[in-house]
Structure 1
Amino acid sequence: MCFRLRQVYLCRGFSCLAKSHIFPTSISSRIKTLVQQGEYRQALHLYTKHGSSPLRTSIFTFPSLLKACASLPNLDYGKTIHASVIVLGRQYDLYIASSLVNMYVKGGLLDYAVQVFDVLSENGVSSQDVTVWNSMIDGYFRFGHFKAGVDQLRRMLELGVRPDAYSLTIVVGVLCKDGNRGREGGKQIHGYMLRNSWNGDSFLETALIDMYFKFGLSTNAWRLFVGMKDKANIVIWNVMIVGFLDNGLWESSLELYTLAKSNSVKPVSTSITGALGACGQSENVDFGKQIHGDVVKMGLEHDPFVCTSLLTMYGKCSLVDEAGTIFHNIPDKGLEIWNAIIAAYANNDCGHNALELFDSMRQKNVMPDSFTLSNIITCCSMLGLYEYGKSIHAELVKRPIQSKATVESALLTMYSKSGRDNDASLVFNSMEVKDLVAWGALISGFCRNGKFTEALEIFRCMKNSESLRPDSDIMASVINACTGLEALGFGLQVHGYMMKTGLELDVFVGSSLIDLYSKCDVPEMAFEVFSGMPRKNIVAWNSMISCYSRNNLPELSIGLFHEMVDHGFFPDSVSITSVLVAISLTARLLKGKSLHGHTIRLNIPFDTHLENALIDMYMKCGFLEYAQNIFRRMLHKTLVSWNLMISGYGSHGNYLGALALFDEMKRAGEEPDDLTFLSLISACNHSGFVQEGKTRVSVNGSSTNVDPHRFVVYLRRKLQEIKITRQKFFPRKKEDGWEFLANMVDLLGRAGHLEEAYSFVRAMPVEADKSIWLCLLSASRTHHNVELGILSAENLLRIEPDRGSNYVQMINLYMEAGLREKAAETMALMKEKGLQKKPGCSWIEVRNRTRVFFSGSSYSSSMEAEVFNALNSLKCNMKKENNEDSDKMTFREVIL
């Protein structure tokens, strides 16, 4: 039925209701008052109660009734009132017609609004009235018909209808969604307002301020606010408070809240929620408590929006107990209240509390939404309650909810974190819309479970199948996958892609790149990334410091730490740990002690990694007692802590201490790993306790002879049992077991059991590497077994024919055995190949400066010459004293 036929039908239906008397003026006035107070249902009920008919209703009552219908919305009632208007012939009244257009627009019936407007235009009624034009233009824009709205605005201007402040406000609202063009258009409207002296219209000025904030032009918004003549309306203050909050200017938001109170502008619910949001974002709990006091004074403690904001603020400030108290004192708890308290617990690692509230919520028949369930699934992931999370997933399948993208992303994260990649893939494939969060959750999940190849494959699919641009979180995960695979080539490709997109400058992506280049032994590339980062946080500095330590550049690591402090960054435990590793490599005791004291003075928290680094540093600097004190005071000793101490005892020749600590470690319930046994063998090796060393690493713990086959099988089984993890203090790239075998050969060789050592090598199920032959060669030289030494040297040269130190070892062996011709031949061969042995060196730290002395070097400085002169003088004195003692003894013998 067309619109005009409906009009005829309604007119005929209502014509029989015509009466001779008019609708009482008092009732009409009462209806108007109720509508102004927002009591829309009561207004319509009053109209119906008095048996109204079209002819009894005053024309001044219709706009109020239509406004009530638009606000509810109640279009059926509105259509009935429209029929009454037609019966009275008031459909051409501009005020009533504008109300009809507004009602149909708000009710979602744009076609009805257009027909009302067209009826007016056909009769030439609306041409000069801007109010009706505003309603129609607003309708087009509200329904997304941007072009039609612009055409209507252009048509209005062509007819000579001058736009008012509300017209411009409608346009400003549309421009806020139009990017850069909208920003320029908004500035033009601002200029138009100033040229036409409309700068006193607070409604338009408020819209412009809101527009500037949405475009991130906070300074423009502030200037416009300062220039406003009338600031008595709380709405403008609310826009300023929320605008600064949305732009991350939390302090300015709180200053505006304080300024509003000092200007006697009474805050309302929106003001409170905006200010509490700023407190939560900035974690300014003191200011938040002051606002909480204002809430109580104004009687808003039961306002649902204010309560939700209070709970969120206390949650973000980690005051969950206060949030819980507020929650339990709220008499009428809506869904938003439940969501706020559950989110507060979930975000503060109080997953059990969140789950208890969720059960209570369901008992009270409060239906959860997507926000509730995403937080609950996150708690399941946090607590490892994957079966519970899966049961919630089952409920979701039975009862689909709206806006489930966040829930699906939470499910993806949970399944990925639990290692259930198949379930994660099923959730991902079932998603209708795969946003960045979903792709990121799947990629990071594969990375977390060590499935780096799968993570990179998902990234390729994302780039090929979607128009989405990866964000910094996704790129950081992709780089971590490259790092895990040590795929430097693909990492370079990813780096190039990021340079094109500008993501390289992101501090988190940059830190991941530094870590990639660090682990791929390319520190110069890591430094280029670090230097190109415009904003460096503590994570970036720590990554670069650790990079230099990892790549055996300790001096650069130490220097960068001082540079970081000079730039005003406060070091954390990670910074201290990385620098301590560098100090350990250089054995600079004074620097290490200074850093230890610096850490105590600054109250930097001592975590396990930092304490382990201190133990390692003091051990390598020769201060066993300091390391012991730190170890004994540790609240939580990890396997790394025990290994460091056992290794330290062994390197200091304290064999009994190493074994005693090993026994203590077993009593403490700590399972040893390969490094533990390696340290024990080394301790026995340095102390010469051969039998004890063999016993400690035997399969049954009591055998005196070690079978290499059984030993290797034992080692492999142990590695599988304890799932060995590489520790940064002992980065090793050899196959598991090689270091044990080499140490066993060295252990037997040092003790002179050369035949047993060689038998051990021959019985090995794998071919011996260079380290094993070098140990056997060194033992052969020590115990003058020329035949075995030559055999070891030949195997060593076969494996590494271009290493100068191997030739030197063989030359020394020939010389010690008196085979000078063989030594000369080997030396000639070495010179022919142009090989040299790197000289040994020693160093000493004097006045915070390290002095290095190379074997066979000439005096490179006056200080070195002075040192050697002093040494020669001491040697002469010692010889002189020895000769005198010898002469005296002979004289006594003669006397006696």
Structure 2
Amino acid sequence: MGSCWAAKSSKANFPRDLIRLTGYFSSALLPRNQSSSKRIIVPCKLKHPLLFIESYGLCSNVHLSFTANSLQFCTVHHPFVKTSQRDPHQLYTRFYDVIDLLKSSMARPNLVTTTIAHCLAIKVGALAHLPVCTSLLTSYSRAKDLSSSLGLFDEFSNKDVILWNAIINAAVENNSYNVATRFFIEMTEVGAAFDSTTLLLIVSASSHMKYLKCGKSIHCLSIKLGMLWDCNLCNAVLDMYAKCGDLSSSQSMFTWMETRDVITWNSMVNGFLYNGHPEKSFWCFREMICFGIRVDSVSLSCAISASADMGELSSGQAIHAWGIKQGYNYDISFPNSLISLYSEYGDIEASKSVFKEMVVRDVVSWNAMIRGLASNGRVVETFDMLYKMQLTGYAQLGVATLFTIISLCAEQMLLREGKSVHGFTVRRQMISDVWVTNSLLDMYSKCDCVVKGEFLFNTIPRRDLVSWNAMISCYSRNGYSKEAQSLFTKLIHQRLQLSFSTVLAVISSCIPPDSLQFGKSIHCWGQKAGFSNNILIVNSLMHMYVNFGDLPAAFMLLERIHAEEDIACWNTIIAGCTRNGHFREALATFNWMRQEISVMWDSITLVNVISACGNLALLCEGKSLHGLAIKTFVGSETRVQNALITMYGRCSHAKSAKSVFDFCSSRNLCSWNCMISAFSQNKEGRRALELFHFLEFEPNEITIVALLSACNQLGLSRQGKQIHGHVFRFGISENSFVTAALVDMYSNCGRLDLGWQIFTKSEEKSIAVWNSMISAYGYHGNGKMAIQLFHKMCDSGIRPSKSSFVNLLSACSHSGLVNEGLSYYRVMLGEYGVEAVTEHQVCIVDMLGRAGKLQEAYEFINQIPGETEAGLWGALLSACNYHGNVEMGRKVAQHLFGLEPENVVGYYIALANLYVGAGGWKDAVELRQIAQHKNLKKLPAYSLLINIDAASSSTAASSP
């Protein structure tokens, strides 16, 4: 007696509280004396099951009951259960109705049609006939109802090889490869005979599971039983080896086979391509043609993909022409491959041409066209194509289409469109697909929408590891470090098998200063989990340690992977040192790298090293790197040339910067910005404004800031207003750096009132905007207003920075607020966490010097630990000059002559002026003679006349 089984339940369209009915119907086909019965459950998705049952009428020995989710039939055993069930003479005439219905169901899989056929088979008594049962089982399988196939299979006690093959094939069709393998094991255990088709199906399951050991066992079993005469089985074994990455065994199998058909050749062509050998794949395709094998659409598609992977568009075009000549342009897979080929090379017009010429288009055709448009940045055309696809009616959007669209929204940061796609997936009930939800998570992450991503993550019923990784990456990418680390801890408690992507996602969250210990624990955990040799993880760890200033740990990691290190490892250290202000360490690492024979630097290396030279103002070393770039042909790259322009600008060598700019072969907006900034930094504001008139691109925020700095230097409020007009025209008025530059420009040009207006109208005031306004009031001698603004900034939740205190102390100095300035200097570190640097100390010295407290300033400098900067003594020397204190001025000058000999001419002149002011003409003349004897020359000064439009408003501005 068969075991009971339950079919997969589905939503019913009738009320759930439908009463349970029991009825008996008559039929002459079943014997009346049959007492034993068995239970069969037939899934039902019909709107009116009662009408369906009444229209067919069931036999009298059938006990019927149905609930909201299924119809249940209890049937008796048929008298011919144990007869020869594959005998065609036993096929009753009425069985043909069932067979015909099942054939139509398998042609277009439909669960309702299969259910009708199932009920009809019960009515005519055909359910016990193996051909009918096999067809019914296959129909359920193709309708994606594997549980019904399994239940139907359990109904039979005497199963032949065809039925066993049918259930194994059903499991393979529904991606239940482990189930298929277990059926084969059960088949051998019960002693059932199997044939080459059985082995072919198991080999196919092993291929999908990438289970090479199982595939080899089936291969050995095939040889032992002499079943390798079947060409289809040989092809399956060959394909299995290729899919499992064992190309040598696949080639051996190919060589051993005496009979090779087109599927054999296609398996080899696709096998080489699948394992990353496009050259061998294309060679195999050519050999196939030489041997006279008539290629098909699969061969052509693989050859086109191989051409794309090899980067040979001409080969793909040749195959295109050859395929048209052979008449393959009407085969749908051939043009689909061509669309992907041309799209990959950016030839969208060719892709469109192929797409328009297609007589029949399937979902793959539309997806290929949409993917091609999206990958080439054609956003509007992509959504237009998506709309046209929906209008066709036959090409329904699937997971592949949604994945392409969601990825486009993520890369282009199209949050609004991404939300629309999210709503579409909910309406179409596709949100349960884990690939869709993970793509949406990635989209929200890249669009800086953490709240939506978090809500989506919490609503996912079954999260996989990719979901966890995407959410951790979302937190890390958007600065939610604590949340990312907390989620990682939860993930560990879930005891899932973590991947290196998980480690990469959580390492990037170690940004705050208090995250170093957590980062070290991740480092230890990664070593324990076996990720210590992964280059990507090692690079991330080195980057983390460099960001925290732990250079010894980063270099230790670099030394440990010495045998496997590549250019990315060196670039991680060099770029990390450059970005974090360790410029000399970056240069030292580059010199160490050049001693390694196996590693060759690239453009990224040179860009960072050149930037380090620029920040250190090492002109000689920068020129050497310039020569090295030209020698190694890397100097022609635009980013290297941009780095050279910036380096020469910071080294006060605008002439060389202009020379590099003039010879730049392919300038981009960054090139123009670098050159304009170089002029601006070197007090050549007019040249910066002149260069702007020839700008070949639409300016951005960086361009505007550099131009406003030039106007600031020249005091040109008129030109500054014109630049302000550009700000509104290009829609960048809300940029915090532009707002800060405008405040600086107007305040330095005497229009503090306009600076205040811009400040008050700014919706989101960043710390740069606050600092500019504080500096503006200090520059105009209104220190009390600057202090009020400082406290307002702190009350708004913005933490003051080093520049904030420089501007505040400078305002106190210019306004004579000595006590206030000293009090702020004392609480800088304790209350605000800002460590005092040379700029702050210079402000204190200048403030004490202006107030005439020279001795206190002298003592302040002496109590500073470590080596004293020349700027401190220079500020004190200016104060001595102002107050005429010759004795202290002489002592300060002696310190300066030893600290900064390259700028000694300025100090000689300052001390000489001090002597003149005190009436010591003799000493002044001696100093000037010494300067002339040493051939020291002072740079010429210049005067600047500022045309103030509204003088009355230059010093009076609205109070905060």
Q: TM-score, normalised by structure 2?
A: 0.68
* Counterpart selection for 2:716 from 554, 565, 588: 588
Moved more, 271-280 or 497-506: 497-506
Q: How does 1:498-537 map to 2 (within 5 A)?
A: 498-499=629-630, 503-504=634-635, 506=637, 508-533=639-664
| Aligned position for 1:736 | 871
| Aligned position for 1:452 | 583
Q: Is the 8 A contact 1:210 1:221 kept in 2?
A: yes
Q: Is the 8 A contact 1:355 1:379 kept in 2?
A: yes
| Aligned position for 2:682 | 551
| Aligned position for 1:413 | 543
Q: Secondary structure at the match of 1:167?
A: helix
Q: Secondary structure at the match of 1:266?
A: coil
| Aligned position for 1:96 | 233
The aligned amino acid for 2:500 is S
Q: Does 1:745 align with 2:880?
A: yes
The aligned amino acid for 1:172 is I
Per the TM alignment, residue 455 of structure 1 is displaced from its structure 2 partner at its CA by: 1.7
Q: How does 1:479-878 map to 2 (within 5 A)?
A: 479-499=610-630, 503-504=634-635, 506=637, 508-533=639-664, 539-564=670-695, 567=696, 569-572=698-701, 574-592=702-720, 595=723, 604-605=733-734, 607=736, 611=740, 614-615=743-744, 618-619=747-748, 621=749, 636=767, 645-646=777-778, 648-649=780-781, 658-666=814-822, 669=827, 673-677=840-844, 679-680=846-847, 684=850, 693-695=851-853, 697-699=854-856, 712=858, 714-715=860-861, 717-718=863-864, 735-749=870-884, 756-758=885-887, 760-761=889-890, 765-766=894-895, 770-771=905-906, 774-775=909-910, 778=913, 785=919, 788-800=920-932, 843=945, 845=947
* Counterpart selection for 2:301 from 161, 169, 179: 169
Alpha-carbon distance in 2 for matches of 1:444, 1:642: 34
1:47-97 CA deviation, whole Å, 9 max, x = no partner? 554569999446655544443343335566656766776687653233333
Q: Is the 8 A contact 1:54 1:85 kept in 2?
A: no
Q: Is the 8 A contact 2:896 2:907 kept in 1?
A: no
Q: Secondary structure at the match of 2:510?
A: helix
| Aligned position for 2:507 | 377
1:727-759 CA deviation, whole Å, 9 max, x = no partner? xxxxxxxx333422432332233xxxxxx5257
1:657-705 CA deviation, whole Å, 9 max, x = no partner? 93454544455555682442465367x4xxxxxxxx322x432xxxxxx
Q: Secondary structure at the match of 1:342?
A: helix
- Provide structure 2 residue ranges, at least 5 long, that are not aligned to the other structure: 1-86, 88-157, 784-809, 829-835, 898-903, 951-960
Question: CA separation of 1:108/1:69 partners in 2, compared to 1, >3 Å: closer, same or farther?
Answer: same
The aligned amino acid for 1:798 is I
Question: CA separation of 1:563/1:138 partners in 2, compared to 1, >3 Å: closer, same or farther?
Answer: closer
Alpha-carbon distance in 2 for matches of 1:323, 1:118: 53
Q: Does 1:289 align with 2:385?
A: no
Question: CA separation of 1:580/1:247 partners in 2, compared to 1, >3 Å: closer, same or farther?
Answer: closer
Alpha-carbon distance in 2 for matches of 1:838, 1:108: 74
Q: Is the 8 A contact 2:842 2:871 kept in 1?
A: no
1:29-62 CA deviation, whole Å, 9 max, x = no partner? 4544444444444445445545699994466555
Alpha-carbon distance in 1 for matches of 2:594, 2:224: 63
1:476-528 CA deviation, whole Å, 9 max, x = no partner? 21111111332223322322343456654655434322221112221122123
* Counterpart selection for 2:441 from 289, 311, 315: 311
Question: CA separation of 1:552/1:85 partners in 2, compared to 1, >3 Å: closer, same or farther?
Answer: closer
1:831-890 CA deviation, whole Å, 9 max, x = no partner? xxxxxx979867465999xxxxxxxxxxxxxxxxxxxxxxxxxxxxxxxxxxxxxxxxxx
Per the TM alignment, residue 100 of structure 1 is displaced from its structure 2 partner at its CA by: 3.5
Q: Secondary structure at the match of 2:292?
A: coil
Alpha-carbon distance in 2 for matches of 1:594, 1:341: 46
1:586-628 CA deviation, whole Å, 9 max, x = no partner? 3334444665676578562474796477457635x45677778
Moved more, 334-343 or 184-193: 184-193
Per the TM alignment, residue 570 of structure 1 is displaced from its structure 2 partner at its CA by: 4.1
- Provide structure 1 residue ranges, at least 5 long, that are not aligned to the other structure: 1-19, 685-692, 700-710, 725-734, 750-755, 807-836, 849-896
The aligned amino acid for 2:388 is L
Per the TM alignment, residue 210 of structure 1 is displaced from its structure 2 partner at its CA by: 3.0
| Aligned position for 1:815 | none
Alpha-carbon distance in 2 for matches of 1:225, 1:412: 48
The aligned amino acid for 1:694 is G
1:612-662 CA deviation, whole Å, 9 max, x = no partner? 77457635x4567777888999885888876765565399xx999934545
* Counterpart selection for 2:553 from 423, 436, 457: 423
Alpha-carbon distance in 1 for matches of 2:698, 2:711: 20
The aligned amino acid for 1:547 is A
The aligned amino acid for 1:800 is Q
Per the TM alignment, residue 358 of structure 1 is displaced from its structure 2 partner at its CA by: 0.8
Q: Secondary structure at the match of 1:381?
A: coil
Q: Is the 8 A contact 2:444 2:450 kept in 1?
A: yes
Per the TM alignment, residue 131 of structure 1 is displaced from its structure 2 partner at its CA by: 2.4
Alpha-carbon distance in 1 for matches of 2:642, 2:280: 50
Per the TM alignment, residue 533 of structure 1 is displaced from its structure 2 partner at its CA by: 4.5
* % same residue: 23
| Aligned position for 1:812 | none
Question: CA separation of 1:643/1:679 partners in 2, compared to 1, >3 Å: closer, same or farther?
Answer: farther
Q: Secondary structure at the match of 2:711?
A: helix
Moved more, 405-414 or 528-537: 528-537
| Aligned position for 1:829 | none
Question: CA separation of 1:460/1:211 partners in 2, compared to 1, >3 Å: closer, same or farther?
Answer: farther
Compare the two structures and name the one with the higher helix fraction: 1
| Aligned position for 1:443 | 574
Alpha-carbon distance in 2 for matches of 1:740, 1:207: 73
Q: Is the 8 A contact 2:905 2:936 kept in 1?
A: no
Alpha-carbon distance in 2 for matches of 1:656, 1:485: 31
The aligned amino acid for 1:71 is H
Q: Is the 8 A contact 1:104 1:110 kept in 2?
A: yes
Q: Secondary structure at the match of 1:694?
A: coil
| Aligned position for 1:206 | 336
Q: Secondary structure at the match of 2:652?
A: coil
Q: TM-score, normalised by structure 1?
A: 0.72
Q: Secondary structure at the match of 1:458?
A: helix
The aligned amino acid for 2:714 is T
Per the TM alignment, residue 257 of structure 1 is displaced from its structure 2 partner at its CA by: 3.0
Q: Secondary structure at the match of 2:328?
A: coil
Per the TM alignment, residue 558 of structure 1 is displaced from its structure 2 partner at its CA by: 2.9
Alpha-carbon distance in 1 for matches of 2:181, 2:343: 39
Cα root mean square deviation, aligned: 4.3
Q: Is the 8 A contact 1:66 1:78 kept in 2?
A: yes
| Aligned position for 2:133 | none
Alpha-carbon distance in 2 for matches of 1:177, 1:524: 45
| Aligned position for 2:15 | none
Q: How does 1:53-92 map to 2 (within 5 A)?
A: 56-57=193-194, 63-73=200-210, 90-92=227-229
Q: Is the 8 A contact 2:320 2:338 kept in 1?
A: yes
Q: How does 1:6-85 map to 2 (within 5 A)?
A: 23=160, 25-47=162-184, 49=186, 56-57=193-194, 63-73=200-210
Alpha-carbon distance in 2 for matches of 1:847, 1:395: 66
Q: Is the 8 A contact 2:812 2:820 kept in 1?
A: no
Q: Is the 8 A contact 1:295 1:301 kept in 2?
A: yes
The aligned amino acid for 2:852 is K
Comparing both chains, which one has the higher relative contact order based on Cα–Cα distances under 8 Å and sequence gaps of 6 or more? 2
Alpha-carbon distance in 2 for matches of 1:774, 1:82: 95
